[in-house]
Structure 1
Amino acid sequence: MEDHGKILEALSSGPMRPGEVADATGLDKDSVSKALKSLKAEGKVISPKRCYYGLP
């Protein structure tokens, strides 16, 4: 998905909260949260600490 690419690109700079990812990508916060959940299930994103997401 196009949104997933934008999110992964934003996370390349380091772990971020969903709201920060939304600001960096210009996407809606709810869609970012859903995308992060599916990316985490696919193993493309990790959660190094609560409410933060980053690349493995």
Structure 2
Amino acid sequence: MKDQVLNAMRNAGKPVCPGDVAKTLGVDGKDVSKAIKSLREDGLVTSPKRCFYEPA
């Protein structure tokens, strides 16, 4: 799931919210949020503004 979320963020080319990623992947938003939390802890994702994320 983490790889899918990261790839979707890269393909978007701009900061995205978890809901947009969930729609793109066709999965539940809670799963995307969990993956983003894990990616942030690993330093692979940053948050330029509240509730929006992009690859680091």
Quick check: TM above 0.5?
Answer: yes
CA drift of 1:7 comes to: 0.4
Runs of 4+ in 1 over 3 A off after TM superposition: none
Gapped regions of structure 2 (runs ≥ 5)? none
Decide which of 1, 7, 10 is 1:9's aligned counterpart. Answer: 7
TM-score w.r.t. length of structure 1: 0.89
* Alpha-carbon distance in structure 2 between the residues aligned to 1:41 and 1:5: 14
Structure with greater proportional strand content: 2
**For the aligned residues, what is the CA RMSD?**
0.8
TM-score w.r.t. length of structure 2: 0.89
CA drift of 1:48 comes to: 0.7
